């Protein structure tokens, strides 16, 4: 987690989130045991992985390529299952 | 001002009506009491303009109360024994979400065996839920405490449970003096002091608190409870001044020069005082202490009151099987631990499942406590009135 965590006096009262969309601050990379690797040659840019990713961790770059934001990928492997041309492979994270 | 003959239940219902609540969510079947029946009357005949939600369980009743309270509504519910137990998980949510719900809990025994009579096991099982717990021992006190509870809840933003003893207070009719509506409205204005819904503030409530934040979120409610100690005193003295009462977190009787005393909660206070009075006439230096504010537990004042007292008999109307003793005793012992010269404590259990605790049993408890004062030693817990 890169951002400094807030203390009990700093957070809003009563289990409230007052800043919409603040889950972008929540880094989940440590949850993962496998990470998806996209083979850009096999990829047909159909967008199925982008649709199915429950974390919206797959991004479409300006040049049309698909990439995974590894800060938000929990390594569930749904993208690999939905990829028709089998361009996505789940690869074990190296031991830290 | 008007004077009516009301049961403890009706006294609470009148207080809720005069507090002009916005939402009542309640489950109407056993162990429910006539509190919500009377409120349903008030709503049906137009005397109270509130949303009355007839839910399918106490779990849903408390959940509906939490939701309604988060919108800024003034919210009330009532329950008893199994109903309170069924609310258990939502009680913890209500306190940490800081919803100022007021709930009347008519103290009744928990099953088994099935029993709808008075003891304190229901409320004791919820003492760690983060709710403020006030205990009233008459119909008048039930009315006053309920009015006060709305002020306390909305000021501190914590839920408040008003406890009244099942049947002994809840179903007994007494003359109750009701202040004028203007006085109540002046004390707790109809628009609740907390109103969270606003187009200026978008928020998600009841969110996930991962290990990085759960601790901080929970601690906010712990801190609020700690700060409530002082606020409750201030709110109570304001109430006393406005309405000519004399409520305190702990009520004392003949404690100025007492050598030994009984400590109790709820309606048994009356019987204990009658017996203490007759012992006083015989020259015994005896007193009675009753806890009115059980959460937050008024430990500092308790230590103050027991200065110079040699033995205190703590009367629990609930048990804590396998514990170091019973719930009230444990709190009292912890509260007095820091005293340099603390009284000997004798534990009693009495009146489980609605068993009457007559004057001769109080005499027995006073005698046993006197023995503790004389010898400087207490015996094991005495289960008063238990047949072998």
Q: In what order do the strands lie in the sheet with B51-54?
A: B51-54, B23-26, B75-80, B102-107, B160-165, B132-136, B293-295
Nearest to B59, CA basis, from B41, B73, B72, B77: B77
Per cent of chain B over pLDDT 90 is: 93
Three-state secondary structure string covering B153-218: HHHHCCCEEEEEECCCCCCCEEEEEECCHHHHHHHCCCCCCCCCCECCECCEECCCCCCCCHHHHH
Residue holding tokens 């072998």? B388
* Best of A3, A13, A15, A26 to mutate (most B CBs within 10 Å, chain B): A15
Residue A18 sits at the chain B interface (C-beta within 8 Å) = yes
Residue A20 sits at the chain B interface (C-beta within 8 Å) = yes
Q: B301, B267 in Cβ contact below 8 A?
A: no
Chain A hits for B99, CB-CB cut-off 8 Å, are 14
**How high is the pLDDT of residue B204?**
85
Give the residue on A whose Cα is nearest the Cα of B66.
A14
**How high is the pLDDT of residue A61?**
95
Contact B205 A5 (CB under 8 A): no
Residue B20 clears pLDDT 50, i.e. is over it: yes
Name the β-bridge partners of B133: B161, B295
**How high is the pLDDT of residue B197?**
72
Which residues contact residue B277 at a Cβ distance below 8 angstroms, ignoring those fewer than 6 apart? B254
**How high is the pLDDT of residue B84?**
98
Contact A14 B97 (CB under 8 A): yes
* Best of B101, B200, B215, B217 to mutate (most A CBs within 10 Å, chain A): B217
Contact B213 A14 (CB under 8 A): no
Residue pairs spanning A and B at CB distance below 8 A? 46
- The model's confidence at residue A1, banded by pLDDT at 50, 70 and 90, is very low
Helix axes B139-156, B214-243, angle to 10 degrees: 130
Residue A5 sits at the chain B interface (C-beta within 8 Å) = yes
Q: B265, B105 in Cβ contact below 8 A?
A: no
Residue B174, phi then psi, degrees to nearest 5: -140, 160
Contact B209 A15 (CB under 8 A): yes
Residue B8 clears pLDDT 70, i.e. is over it: yes
The tokens for B101 are 């719900």
Which residues contact residue B113 at a Cβ distance below 8 angstroms, ignoring those fewer than 6 apart? B353
Residue B305 clears pLDDT 50, i.e. is over it: yes
**How high is the pLDDT of residue B315?**
98
What is the interface pTM, i.e. ipTM, of the complex? 0.86
Contact B97 A15 (CB under 8 A): yes
pLDDT in tens, B202-225: 788 888 898 989 999 999 999 999
Chain A hits for B153, CB-CB cut-off 8 Å, are none
Per cent of chain B over pLDDT 70 is: 99
Q: B385, B355 in Cβ contact below 8 A?
A: yes
Residue B133 CB-density burial (10 A; 0-12 exposed, 13-18 middle, 19+ buried): buried
Residue A30 sits at the chain B interface (C-beta within 8 Å) = no
**How high is the pLDDT of residue B312?**
98
Task: Report B:179-208 residues touching A (Cβ under 8 A).
Answer: 201-207
Give the Cβ contact number of residue A20 at 10 Å. Answer: 9
Give the Cα separation of B8 and B163 in Å (integer): 11
Domains annotated on chain A, with CATH: 34-92 (3.30.70.20)
CA distance A72 to chain B (A): 16
Give the residue on B whose Cα is nearest the Cα of A3.
B212
Contact B223 A8 (CB under 8 A): yes
Residue B107 or B197, more confident: B107
* Best of B94, B203, B210 to mutate (most A CBs within 10 Å, chain A): B203
CA distances from A59 to A26, B175, B249 (A): 17, 72, 60
Q: B160, B152 in Cβ contact below 8 A?
A: yes
* Best of A8, A9, A11 to mutate (most B CBs within 10 Å, chain B): A8
Residue B61, phi then psi, degrees to nearest 5: -60, -50
3-state helix, strand, coil in chain A (%, to 5): 20, 20, 65
For A30-52, letters b (16+ CB in 10 Å) and e give eebebbbebeeeebeeeebbbee
Residue holding tokens 């007292």? B309
pLDDT in tens, B100-150: 999 999 999 999 999 999 999 999 999 999 999 999 999 999 999 999 999
Domains annotated on chain B, with CATH: 2-243 (3.40.50.970), 250-383 (3.40.50.920)
Contact A8 B205 (CB under 8 A): no
Chain B hits for A23, CB-CB cut-off 8 Å, are none
Overall average pLDDT of the B285-291 stretch: 97
**How high is the pLDDT of residue A3?**
66
Give the residue on A whose Cα is nearest the Cα of B219.
A8
**How high is the pLDDT of residue B199?**
75
Give the Cα separation of B19 and B188 in Å (integer): 7
Continuous segment of H or E residues that includes residue A59: strand A58-60
**How high is the pLDDT of residue B251?**
95
Residue A2 clears pLDDT 60, i.e. is over it: no
């Amino acid at each position: 987690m890169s951002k400094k965590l807030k203390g009990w006096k700093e957070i809003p009262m009563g289990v409230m989130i007052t800043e919409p969309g603040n889950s972008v601050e929540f880094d989940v990379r440590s949850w993962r045991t496998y990470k998806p690797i996209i083979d850009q040659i096999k990829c047909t840019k159909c967008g199925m992985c982008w649709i199915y990713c429950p974390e919206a961790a797959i991004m479409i770059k300006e040049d049309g390529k698909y990439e995974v934001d590894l800060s938000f990928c929990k390594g569930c492997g749904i993208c690999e299952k939905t990829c028709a041309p089998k361009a996505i492979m789940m690869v074990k994270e190296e031991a830290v | 001002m008007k004077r009516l003959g009301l049961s403890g239940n009706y006294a609470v219902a009148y207080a809720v009506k005069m507090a002009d609540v916005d939402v009542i969510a309640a489950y109407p079947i056993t162990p429910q009491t006539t509190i919500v029946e009377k409120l349903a009357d008030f709503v049906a005949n137009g005397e109270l303009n509130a949303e009355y939600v007839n839910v399918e369980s106490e779990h849903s009743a408390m959940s509906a109360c939490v939701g309604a309270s988060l919108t800024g509504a003034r919210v009330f519910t009532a329950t008893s024994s199994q109903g309170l137990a069924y609310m258990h998980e939502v009680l913890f949510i209500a306190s940490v979400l800081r919803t100022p719900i007021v709930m009347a809990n008519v103290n009744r025994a928990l099953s088994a065996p099935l029993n709808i009579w008075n003891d304190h096991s229901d409320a004791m099982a919820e003492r760690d839920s983060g709710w403020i717990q006030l205990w009233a021992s008459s119909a008048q006190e039930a009315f006053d405490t309920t009015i006060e509870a709305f002020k306390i809840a909305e000021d501190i933003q914590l839920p408040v449970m008003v406890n009244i003893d099942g049947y002994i207070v809840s179903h007994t009719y007494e003359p109750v003096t009701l202040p004028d509506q203007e006085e109540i409205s002046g004390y707790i204005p109809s628009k609740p002091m907390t109103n969270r819904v606003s187009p200026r503030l978008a928020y998600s409530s009841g969110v996930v608190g991962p290990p990085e934040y759960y601790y901080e979120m929970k601690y906010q409610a712990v801190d609020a409870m700690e700060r409530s100690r002082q606020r409750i005193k201030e709110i109570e003295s304001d109430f006393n001044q406005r309405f000519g009462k004399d409520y305190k977190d702990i009520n004392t009787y003949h404690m100025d020069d007492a050598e030994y005393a009984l400590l109790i909660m709820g309606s048994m206070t009356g019987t204990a005082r009658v017996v203490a009075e007759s012992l006083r006439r015989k020259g015994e230096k005896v007193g009675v202490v009753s806890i009115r504010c059980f959460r937050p537990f008024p430990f500092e004042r308790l230590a103050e009151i027991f200065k110079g007292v040699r033995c205190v008999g703590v009367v629990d109307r609930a048990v804590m099987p396998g514990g170091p003793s019973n719930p009230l005793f444990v709190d009292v012992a912890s509260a007095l631990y820091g005293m340099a010269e603390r009284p000997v404590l004798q534990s009693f259990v009495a009146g489980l499942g609605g068993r009457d605790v007559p004057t001769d049993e109080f005499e027995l408890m006073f005698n046993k406590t006197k023995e503790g004062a004389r010898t400087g030693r207490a015996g094991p817990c005495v289960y008063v009135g238990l047949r072998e």
